[in-house]
Amino acid sequence: MAKSELQGLLEQRLTEELGEAEAAARLTGQIFEIALSWRPPQAPAAQVSRIVAYAFGNRPRDGAGPNDLADPGPVNEALAQAVRAIHRLNPVKIYAQWEIARFLVDQPGMADMVSIEPVYLPDGTLEYLSTDGVAAEVLRHEGGAAASMGAVAIVAHRDHAKRCVQISRRHGMNAIVAAEIELPVTYDPLSGQPWTRRRDIYLAHDLAAQFIALRSQAIAEPGEI
């Protein structure tokens, strides 16, 4: 079924359910953009000037306290491999969330890599950075000059990548994913983050995050959505 045909059927159904064509048309567009589009924009690795890698899940560390770092886990190891694959094609500067950076720090050619670490609050409490927080920290290292970063290759779990690109773009980065690299799509059933243990759970989590972002934008800019 063609996208236009499916979109028309959904809009018709929502019009029947809501009793209002305008609201149904807006919601249809939002559902297609959020729920039915999961492929972020791509560009060749040769065109990028930076790599930014976002972590996905972790594993509890035996005997660790609440303010100790978790074990990065196997999905972040796979993400580190994707970073290395892009870096071999184009050895540009890397920003990697610490769970990924731990697998890269001892690898050849990684002297210029910046690890984005979690934050310890004044009372000693460990605060993990959100995806948005990681993007903000990358910009801090760049002196807030997102435009000077050039094209940025985002490395993230395949189901997380679209939102990582969106968040990076909201911070001003020219974010894409490298066309030559297949992003990992495996899940870790032992992850310490329950929403990253299984695909159906994570997709629901990501959909919720995307709709919340849309809600925030609609409230901030009424009439623009």
Q: What is the pLDDT of residues 120-159, one digit of tens each?
A: 888 888 888 999 999 999 999 999 999 999 999 999 999 9
* Residue 218 scores a pLDDT above 90: no
Cβ-contact 58, 99 below 8 angstroms: yes
The gap from C-alpha 206 to its chain's centroid, in whole angstroms, comes to: 10
Separation of alpha carbons 83 and 6, rounded Å: 37
Higher pLDDT pick, 97 / 33: 97
Mean pLDDT value across residues 49-65: 91
Helix intervals (H) in 90-198: 98-101, 131-141, 161-170
Mean model confidence pLDDT for the chain: 93
Cβ-contact 225, 31 below 8 angstroms: no
Q: What is the pLDDT of residues 8-17, one digit of tens each?
A: 999 999 999 9
**pLDDT score, position 80:** 98
Question: DSSP letters along 50-62, please?
Answer: EEEE-----BPPT
Domains of the chain listed by start with CATH number = 42-58+65-190 (3.40.50)
Instruction: Tokens for 52, please give them.
Output: 């930014």
Q: What is the pLDDT of residues 15-50, one digit of tens each?
A: 999 999 999 999 999 999 999 999 999 999 999 999
